C-alpha cells in the first residue's frame, strides 16, 4: 500500500490568519495520525508565513508515524532539520516568496551542491528525497547525488487529468520506471486529490508515498478529516 503523508501547512495558514492557537496545529497532527494517516509533512519557508520553525520543533514530540520536512536546503533550513532529525527530508528548490512549489530540481546543474546536502543529512540518519519533474535526465541526476528517493512533482498531471487528459500520466510512468531501474524510492506530491489519486497510484509502479495537503484540507472542510483521510487510504490500497 502507498503511504499517505498529510501536509498540514494549511492548518498553520488558518491559525496564523487570526493569531493565537486556533486551530491547534499539534492537536490536528495528533488527530490526523489517529485517523490513520501514515505520516505528517510540513514545509516551513524562510518567512514562516504558515509553518514556523518552532512548529517544526514542537511537532517532533507529536509525530509518531513518519515525520517529513520539506524545504529549500539553505543554511537555516539545514540547521532546523539537523535539530529536529525527522524520518525524511524532502529537498525542494523554492524561490523566496513563491506561493507554492512550482518546479523540480535541475539535478544536473545543481548536482554537486545537492550531493553535499544529501550526504550531510544521511550522516545524521535522515532519509533524503529530491523533488523532481518527470524527466529521465533529472531522475538520473538525482541518483548521482546519492539521494534515497525522488518526489515526483505532479502539478502538470493533476491539471491535465482535470481536463480529461489521461495521457498526462505517461511521463510520470516513464520517470517511475527509470527510478525503479536505478533503485530510487518514489514519492509524489502537488495537487493530488481524491479525484485523481487512484488513477495516479494505479499507474505508477512501486509508488511508496504521497504527500497531500491543500486538496486534503479543502476536502475536509466539507467531509471532515477522519472521513477524508480514510477515503485516501482506501484509494491508495
Among 66, 151, 190, 219, which one carries the catalytic annotation? 190
Catalytic residue among 43, 66, 209, 219: 43
Tell me whether residue 13 is annotated as binding. no
Q: Among this protein's residues, is 151 annotated catalytic?
A: no
For every residue of the chain, DSSP letters joined together read: --EEEEE-HHHHHHHHHH-TTSS-HHHHHHHHHHTT-SEEEE---TT-SSS-HHHHHHHTTT--SEEEEEE---HHHHHHHHHH--SEEEE--PPTT-SS------TTTTHHHHHHHHHHHHHTT-EEEEEE-S-HHHHHHHHHHT-SEEEEE-HHHHHHHHTT-GGGGHHHHHHHHHHHHHT-EEEEESS--TTTHHHHHHHSTTEEEEEE-HHHHHHHHHH-HHHHHHHHHHHT-
Cell numbers given for 66 = 513518519
Please state, in angstroms and rounded to a whole number, the distance separating the CA atoms of residues 123 and 138: 24
Q: Is 43 annotated in the active site?
A: yes
Is 214 annotated as ligand-binding? yes
Residue 213, annotated ligand binder? yes
Residues catalogued as catalytic? 43, 70, 190
Known binding-site positions for 1-deoxy-D-xylulose 5-phosphate: 45, 50, 100
Known binding-site positions: 7, 18, 45, 50, 100, 191, 213-214
Known binding-site positions for 3-amino-2-oxopropyl phosphate: 7, 18, 191, 213-214
Amino acid at each position: 500500500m502507498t503511504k499517505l503523508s498529510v501536509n498540514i501547512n494549511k492548518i498553520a495558514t488558518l491559525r496564523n490568519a487570526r493569531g493565537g492557537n486556533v486551530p491547534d496545529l499539534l492537536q490536528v497532527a495528533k488527530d490526523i495520525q489517529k485517523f490513520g494517516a501514515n505520516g505528517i509533512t510540513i514545509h516551513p519557508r524562510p518567512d514562516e508565513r504558515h509553518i514556523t520553525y518552532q512548529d517544526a520543533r514542537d511537532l517532533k514530540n507529536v509525530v509518531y508515524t513518519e515525520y517529513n520536512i520539506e524545504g529549500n536546503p539553505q543554511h537555516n533550513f539545514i540547521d532546523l532539520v539537523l535539530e529536529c532529525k525527522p524520518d525524511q527530508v524532502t529537498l525542494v528548490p523554492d524561490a523566496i516568496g513563491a506561493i507554492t512549489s512550482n518546479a523540480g530540481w535541475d539535478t544536473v546543474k545543481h548536482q554537486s551542491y545537492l550531493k553535499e546536502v544529501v550526504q550531510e543529512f544521511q550522516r545524521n540518519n535522515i532519509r533524503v528525497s529530491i523533488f523532481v519533474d518527470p524527466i529521465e535526465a533529472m531522475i538520473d541526476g538525482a541518483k548521482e547525488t546519492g539521494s534515497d528517493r525522488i518526489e515526483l512533482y505532479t502539478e502538470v498531471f493533476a491539471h491535465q487529468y482535470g481536463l480529461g487528459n489521461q495521457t498526462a500520466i505517461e511521463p510520470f510512468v516513464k520517470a517511475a520506471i527509470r527510478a525503479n531501474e536505478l533503485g530510487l524510492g518514489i514519492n509524489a506530491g502537488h495537487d493530488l486529490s481524491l479525484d485523481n489519486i487512484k488513477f495516479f497510484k494505479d499507474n505508477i509502479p512501486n509508488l511508496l508515498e504521497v504527500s497531500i495537503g491543500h486538496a486534503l484540507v479543502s476536502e475536509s472542510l466539507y467531509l471532515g478529516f477522519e472521513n477524508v483521510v480514510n477515503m485516501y487510504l482506501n484509494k491508495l490500497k
